[in-house]
Amino acid sequence: MNYADFAGAFKTATSLPIAYLSWHGHPPSFPYCLLLQIPSDDQYADDRNYLKVANVQLEFYSQLKDSRTQSKIESFFDANDVAYEYQGDTYLDSEQMQMAVYQIQLIKE
């Protein structure tokens, strides 16, 4: 699954705005998500990449802790066989917002 396919299915299922890396201009009102690529975890054999695994960080931003929406995000991962690891919540004092971080893996076809 590539980023565009993932983002489209995610937005349809969760109704959350989602973008890669940053919003052009101002972000939408809360809640919303960002995707960031972190180092890949490709599998190699016979001098080539035979399985491309994109490690991705999904950041969920909200005004306050939003367990209901986080459950919706996790349900989307489960329903679409997306392996994920919840990294926890951070309050961004300078931005006056909550950030929940998930690490996921997308297998590129």
* CATH number of the domain where residue 31 is located: 3.30.2000.30
pTM: 0.86
Q: Which two tokens stand for residue 28?
A: 């939408």
Please tell me the total count of domains within the chain: 1
User: Of 41, 59, 56, which Cα lies nearest the Cα of 98?
Assistant: 59
Chain centroid offset of residue 15 CA: 14
Q: Rounded to whole angstroms, how far apart are CA atoms 83 and 96?
A: 30
pLDDT in tens, 44-88: 677 877 667 778 999 999 999 999 999 999 999 999 989 899 999
Look up the domain containing 46 and give its range. Answer: 3-108
The confidence score (pLDDT) of residue 46 equals: 79
The confidence score (pLDDT) of residue 17 equals: 96
pLDDT in tens, 15-45: 999 998 899 888 999 999 999 987 676 666 7
